[in-house]
Chain A
């Protein structure tokens, strides 16, 4: 398995533009998580899905952020309009079940810079 695949690896955009981050989880994993990494706050959970259904989006900063999981192999995180304070590394992670046998598998992250 190629692991959790995120794209793009780096994104530089201008303030006000729409940004879409993509994630392909490990096949067979039924949980998908979106995290944001910043120096100040560390890794913070934005939203997570179970069997493609959003379970908790209370970590999404504001209405400018939205996430979808149209099928078991694809998820997107969209920011519209983007702002400089959105600059961070965004990680997608997936896991199998809720038994915590193996932990989460993280993607390589997308480094977003909004100028």
Chain B
């Protein structure tokens, strides 16, 4: 069974700080890596989908990198704002299987 691990479990940062989280996944038979942003009382929304080793994606102040050979991805947030407070989910696909999600990193940005 594919096991996706995220760290840290939760994180508190001050407004303006930059931060990053880690997602690790099995590298064998890798197919795709997704990042989702999940705000309280809403549904998860896709941020990035990455498939190639060395992929880097960026959306505003948020970016992500992918290393499929060693099985990890980083999500970076530059200059955190209170509206960035959410749970960030990572999910991986192996072969033709559906996404398996990690338990997420809960980010709180303090103004």
The one of B42, B49, B96, B102 that contacts A103, using a Cβ cutoff of 8 Å: B49
Q: For residues 57 through 115 of chain A, which have their beta carbon under 8 Å from a beta carbon of chain B?
A: 91, 98, 100-109
Contacts known (A33-B98, A45-B98, A100-B31); A108 close to B93, Cβ less than 8 A: no
Q: A42-B103, A102-B49 are in contact. Are A108 and B89 (CB under 8 A)?
A: no
**Is there contact, CB below 8 Å, between A109 and B98?**
no
A98 to B32, CA, bound (A): 10
Question: How many of chain A's residues touch chain B, expressed as a range?
Answer: 20 to 34
Give residues of chain A (20-50) contacting chain B, Cβ–Cβ below 8 Å: 31, 33, 35, 42-45, 48
B101 part of interface (Cβ distance < 8 Å): yes
User: Is B62 part of the binding interface, using a Cβ–Cβ cutoff of 8 Å?
Assistant: no
Q: How far is the CB of B11 from chain A (nearest CB, A)?
A: 17
Closest to A45 in B: B98
* B-binding residues in A (CB < 8 A): 4, 31, 33, 35, 42-45, 48, 56, 91, 98, 100-109
Q: Which residues of B contact A (CB under 8 A)?
A: 31-32, 34, 36, 42-46, 49, 51, 89, 93, 96-104
